[in-house]
Amino acid sequence: MSMLEIRGLNVNYGDFHAIQDVSMDVEANSVVSLIGANGAGKSTLINAICGVNKIRSGSVTFLGHDITKQKTSKIVSLGLTSSPEGSHCFEKMTIQDNLLQGAYLCRSGKERRKRLDEIYELFPVLKEKSKQLATYLSGGQRQMLAIGRAMMTQPKLLICDEISLGLAPVVIKDIYVQLEKVREKGITLVIVDQDVNRSLTNSDYTYVMLEGRIVMAGESKKMNIDEVNDAYFGINLEKKEA
């Protein structure tokens, strides 16, 4: 059994069929990429998995638990959490208080301190600015803060939504380096991105989304980048060759 199993998932926004019969598997200790153009349905899918969007039909199973209709707080307590698109943070709170929001399930002050130290070790810039308001952080630092806050829940599986959105290439490179350190801690990763090359390079398995559907999937190192690009943009290869 996979750590995360998604079977025949369908999600609606009103009358709009946003997610159409999506099935996915995420193996423990792996990095899975979910790629697709803007509007492909990636964030809608992630929000459905995490209990934010209502699922019309299908199932989501995490570590053997059916979480299809579970509340987000319950899903987080099981060890599945996400870092949201746009690296949202509480701008009028300090960096440290932002991080502590991720430890709301932890009742031990000693344990919260330990978790903070782990995040500060991973992202030293957050420690340097821990007493500053989050509103003054750069885009890359906000992304680090969002990831750090999610990690404060001590996830077994961390989903990073639109990890590179609006960031400079040098910042994105640094964040991916830090994500590899996250993986070394034994945390399984699902990374949502729009960059095909970067996604294939930094993952074990890749899913390509188009208009709410999974249109291609496979081991990242075995995938043909031209075929992935065609799937990404909805180009029918058979018609193209004809």
pLDDT, tens digit (0-9, with 9 covering 90-100), for 196-238 = 999 999 999 999 999 999 999 999 999 999 999 999 998 864 4
Average model confidence (pLDDT) across the chain:
92
pLDDT at 237: 42
Q: What pTM was computed for the model?
A: 0.92
Rg (CA), the chain: 18
Determine the angle formed by the axes of helices 169-184 and 109-122, rounding to 10 degrees.
130
Distance CA(201)–CA(76), nearest Å, equals: 28
The pLDDT confidence band at residue 239, using thresholds 50, 70 and 90, is very low
Does residue 105 have a pLDDT over 90?
Answer: no
User: 233 — phi, psi (to 5°)?
Assistant: -95, 5
Kindly give, in sequence order, each residue whose CB lies less than 8 Å from that of residue 124, ignoring residues fewer than 6 positions away.
none
Kindly give, in sequence order, each residue whose CB lies less than 8 Å from that of residue 233, ignoring residues fewer than 6 positions away.
37
Question: Which domains are seen in the chain, by residue range?
Answer: 4-86+154-241 (3.40.50.300)
pLDDT, tens digit (0-9, with 9 covering 90-100), for 166-199 = 888 898 999 999 999 999 999 999 999 989 999 9
Does residue 63 have a pLDDT over 60?
Answer: yes
Instruction: Tell me what the mean pLDDT of segment 148-164 comes to.
Output: 94
In the sheet that 57-62 helps form, which strands lie side by side, from edge to edge? Answer: 16-26, 4-13, 57-62, 65-66
pLDDT at 238: 43
Does residue 128 have a pLDDT over 90?
Answer: yes
Decide: 220 and 188 in contact? Cβ < 8 Å.
Answer: no
Q: Which of 137-141, 143-147, 187-191 has the highest mean pLDDT?
A: 187-191
Does residue 14 have a pLDDT over 80?
Answer: yes
- 201 closest CA partner among 187, 191, 211: 191
Distance CA(19)–CA(8), nearest Å, equals: 10
